[in-house]
């Protein structure tokens, strides 16, 4: 099967969030109330979110535009003024939007014509995402944010095994895990979606009920065909976390250490890269390239990264959109500080991407990486 909206993007009508929300609701699944006009939203007396909409949102980058509460819009504001706020014109600005325009060599005003918004009731409760692991059938990743400041939880559920990171999941949510997984599978199985795909679905859980918020494209299922049971060999580093699978012989790829591309100038725009460390932290460049990557290498503390995945779209993309994602806690054995300095200077001087060759093997649960 194929995804109806990939085959017919025009059927999203330029508003992927609203269109998909309406479709899911038509199939008897709970969705927050949507409003057809500012007047209807204001007169409802309910808390309302102004959610950004852009045609690329369904299968493109995440986090391109802002969303905000309706109360932040003055009565009588024009659609153009609201679009400007979604983009981030004014006090704060949106560097991700600017980088998107530079990369695609688009005029900011030209791209703005595709920006619109939809109006949704803002629910309380817990904001969550859920996705099935692309390499291990029946293994689910669930992130939860609470309204109380600083609350986050990351849970992996596989049959009877529940692994938590961050704060302990409230008992009512822990008891709701099977129901949440059933909710995910119900949405995923709707006829307009490809059931072999592992989407990242945003959910709001309120008083034990799950409400659909958004369907993000993730990865097609590619289940592991082997088990990596041996210990690491000489030169191999063990990942502390992995999502995704390689062939049994592993993969060799060029991993970008520094890019010759600079977002403000648009020089040496990379069309794709095989793998990346993303040391330069250009989130939009990562979003633009991530789906084509064979591997994403994250260097840092596992707990800190996982916390970020729960609350930040760009880190969630790093974990679930490339072929394989792995976390190593330091660069030891892969890159020295001296080599990093030399590659950084070379990238700035030559405007050429600076890469190193790495070999990665992963079975969905365990992964090793080494320089080759």
User: Looking at per-residue confidence, does 114 or 1 come out higher?
Assistant: 114
User: How would you classify the pairing of strands 295-299 and 275-276?
Assistant: parallel
Closest to 364 measured CA to CA, from 225, 244, 232: 244
Q: 3-state DSSP: the chain helix, strand, coil percent, rounded to 5?
A: 30, 30, 40
The number of residues in the chain equals: 372
**pLDDT the model gives residue 264:** 53
Q: Give the number of C-alpha atoms closer than 13 A to the C-alpha of residue 161, restricted to the C-beta side.
A: 7
- As a whole number of angstroms, the distance between CA 151 and CA 121 comes to 22
Does 218 have pLDDT greater than 70?
yes
User: Looking at per-residue confidence, does 92 or 287 come out higher?
Assistant: 287
- As a whole number of angstroms, the distance between CA 351 and CA 348 comes to 6
Closest to 325 measured CA to CA, from 218, 248, 227: 218
- As a whole number of angstroms, the distance between CA 251 and CA 358 comes to 8
- As a whole number of angstroms, the distance between CA 252 and CA 361 comes to 9
Q: What percent of the chain has pLDDT over 70?
A: 95
**pLDDT the model gives residue 44:** 96
User: Looking at per-residue confidence, does 167 or 36 come out higher?
Assistant: 36
- Tell me which CATH code domain 126-220 carries: 3.30.470.20
User: Looking at per-residue confidence, does 72 or 104 come out higher?
Assistant: 72
| 99-108, 172-181, 293-302: the lowest-pLDDT one | 99-108
For 156-198, how does the pLDDT look when each residue is reduced to its tens digit (9 = 90+)? 999 889 998 888 899 999 999 999 999 999 999 999 999 999 9
Please give the model's pTM, rounded to 2 decimal places: 0.93
**pLDDT the model gives residue 91:** 45
Q: For residue 106, what pLDDT band results from cuts at 50, 70 and 90? A: confident
Non-local CB neighbours of 274 within 8 Å, separated by 6+ positions: 253, 254, 255, 293, 294, 295
Does 58 have pLDDT greater than 60?
yes
User: How would you classify the pairing of strands 251-258 and 275-276?
Assistant: parallel
112 phi, psi to nearest 5 deg: -60, -25
* Tokens representing residue 71 in the block: 């109360």
Evaluate whether 64 touches 86 at the Cβ level (below 8 Å): no
Instruction: Indicate the DSSP class of residue 220.
Output: E
- Mean pLDDT in residue range 144-167: 88
Does 339 have pLDDT greater than 90?
yes
Instruction: Indicate the DSSP class of residue 367.
Output: E
- As a whole number of angstroms, the distance between CA 258 and CA 278 comes to 8
**pLDDT the model gives residue 1:** 65
**pLDDT the model gives residue 354:** 92
């Amino acid at each position: 099967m194929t995804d109806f909206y990939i085959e017919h993007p025009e059927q999203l009508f330029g508003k992927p969030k609203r269109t998909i929300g309406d479709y899911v609701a038509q199939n008897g699944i709970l969705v927050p109330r949507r409003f057809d006009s500012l007047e209807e939203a204001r007169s409802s007396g309910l808390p309302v979110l102004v959610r950004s909409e852009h045609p690329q949102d369904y299968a493109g980058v995440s986090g391109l535009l802002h969303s905000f509460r309706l109360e932040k819009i003055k009565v009588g504001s024009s659609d153009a003024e609201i679009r400007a706020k979604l983009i981030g014109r004014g006090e704060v600005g949106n560097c991700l939007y600017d980088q998107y325009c530079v990369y695609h060599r688009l005029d900011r005003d030209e791209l703005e014509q595709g920006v619109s918004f939809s109006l949704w009731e803002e629910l309380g409760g817990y904001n969550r995402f859920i996705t099935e692991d692309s390499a291990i059938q029946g293994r689910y990743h669930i992130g939860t944010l609470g309204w109380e400041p600083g609350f986050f939880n990351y849970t992996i559920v596989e049959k009877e095994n529940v692994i938590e990171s961050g704060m302990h999941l409230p008992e009512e949510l822990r008891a709701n895990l099977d129901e949440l997984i059933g909710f995910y599978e119900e949405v995923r199985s709707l006829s307009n979606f490809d059931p072999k795909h592992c989407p990242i679905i945003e959910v709001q859980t309120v008083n034990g009920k799950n409400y659909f918020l958004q369907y993000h494209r993730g990865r097609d299922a590619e289940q592991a065909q082997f088990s990596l049971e041996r210990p690491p060999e000489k030169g191999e580093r063990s990942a502390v976390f992995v999502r995704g699978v390689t062939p049994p012989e592993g993969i060799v790829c060029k991993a970008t250490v520094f890019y010759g591309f600079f977002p403000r100038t648009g020089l040496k725009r990379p069309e794709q890269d095989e793998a990346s460390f993303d040391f330069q932290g250009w989130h939009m460049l990562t979003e633009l390239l991530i789906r084509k990557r064979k591997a994403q290498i994250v260097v840092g503390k596992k707990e800190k990264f996982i916390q970020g995945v729960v609350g930040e779209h760009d880190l969630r993309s790093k974990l679930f959109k490339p072929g394989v994602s792995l976390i190593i806690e330091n660069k030891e054995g892969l890159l020295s500080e001296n080599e990093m300095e030399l590659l950084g200077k070379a990238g700035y001087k030559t405007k050429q991407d600076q890469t190193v060759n790495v070999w990665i093997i992963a079975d969905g649960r365990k992964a090793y990486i080494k320089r080759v």
